[in-house]
Structures are given as C-alpha cells and as structure tokens.
Amino acid sequence: DTGVSQDPRHKITKRGQNVTFRCDPISEHNRLYWYRQTLGQGPEFLTYFQNEAQLEKSRLLSDRFSAERPKGSFSTLEIQRTEQGDSAMYLCASSLAGQSNVLTFGAGSRLTVL
Amino acid sequence: TQLLEQSPQFLSIQEGENLTVYCNSSSVFSSLQWYRQEPGEGPVLLVTVVTGGEVKKLKRLTFQFGDARKDSSLHITAAQPGDTGLYLCAGVLDSSYKLIFGSGTRLLVRP
C-alpha cells in the first residue's frame, strides 16, 4: 500500500490526557499537511511541513498542539491536556513540492474526548 | 466567515435526477479542486481545474471553473446511490501553497 497511513484510526480519551497521532506519507512526497475536520464541516488547515521544516502553523493550533516531522518522513501530532472541543477527525495529507494542490489524504484519526 | 461557500449544504434526491453543487468565493484561486468524502474516510480527489472557464468531465460528473477563478460548480447527471457522500471544494489562493476547503455539500441519492 503506497497511500497515506494514519494511526490510530480511533482514539477515545478522557479530558486532560495527552494523545499522539502518527502519519506516514507517500514515500516520495516531501510536503505533509495536518487538517482538522469537525462533524458537518470541511477540513481546516492546521500545519504544513516541507521535509522536516514546519513552515506554517494555523492560529487554530494552540500551544497544546505540537507537530513534528523529525526526519522528513513520518509526522506526529500531539495534543496535550485534551479538551472536549478537540474532538474531531485529524487528517494528514502529503504532496510533492511542485504539486502542492494535489494532496493525497489518509483515512484520518478520529479523536473523542470524554 | 468561510472563504469558500458551498451550496446547498444538504441535498436529498431520487436516483436518476440531475443536480448541481456550487462553490463560491470573493477571492481568486490559482486552482480549485473537488473532493468526495465518505463517512470515516479521508477526502478523495475527483478533479483539479486551473484555467478560468475550464470545463472537465468525468463520466456523469461535469466540473466548471468560473472565468474569474472565484467560483466553481459540480453537475451530476442521472445520480446514483453510489454518488452519496460529502462533496468538498478546495482551492489554492494565488501565491499560496495551502489548500482551503469549503464547508461541503452532503448528497444523499435515494434508490
């Protein structure tokens, strides 16, 4: 399978706990994006990497959120001290640098904060 | 305020009917895309349009990019139950690399 993989697919946690999501992009893609999607809405941009460099963070990404892409391959998105409002689908996508409008999305990681 | 406004938000039609979904903005986009998303899955790209006035056809789906590159439409002919899903338009603003999504149109095609 050469698509974008996300893990875990589903996570249920209690308020105040930390959670981490992992994304494995398509191997030759050097750009990686994180989006958040709440029920009935379109995905909202969170952050973007080119190789290992995080080039932009949305204002939606509060101090409790941190994303890394240490070796320019897989990426992690960590949410600290989760709140109920963090409940959403977290989508990862990847693309080639010269084709930033052609994103391939993973299936997403659904977070439920109780 | 959503940069890309989609209408209608929800559409329920009978199999065999035609429908059009609209995506509008006051901003100019260098390209615009349509995605389809099924429950519990990520969006899947259907088409990319880059030239103002461009029309692309994909079987029963016709996509149009407005002349001014501010709007787009998706027309489905003879809808089938398998067309059911969330249709999302998304665009890249001029001098940007970031894909911005509309709020989506949820389509239900009843057998």
What is the least distance, in Å, from the CA of B77 to any CA of chain A? 24
What is the tens place of the pLDDT at every residue in A77-87? 999 999 999 99
Residue A93 has pLDDT above 80, yes or no: yes
| pLDDT for A22 | 98
Taking CB atoms and an 8 Å cut-off, how many pairs form between chains A and B?
56
> In this complex, which of B42, B88, B103 lies closest to A107 when CB atoms are compared?
B42
What is the least distance, in Å, from the CA of A17 to any CA of chain B? 24
Taking Cα atoms as reference points, which of A91, A73, A4, A61 lies closest to residue B90? A91
What is the tens place of the pLDDT at every residue in B1-42? 578 999 999 999 999 999 999 999 999 998 899 999 998 899
> In this complex, which of B4, B42, B88 lies closest to A106 when CB atoms are compared?
B42
- Torsions phi, psi of B40, nearest 5? 80, 10
What is the tens place of the pLDDT at every residue in A39-73? 888 999 999 999 999 988 888 888 999 999 998 89
CA distances B24 to B49, B93, B100, Å, are 14, 13, 12
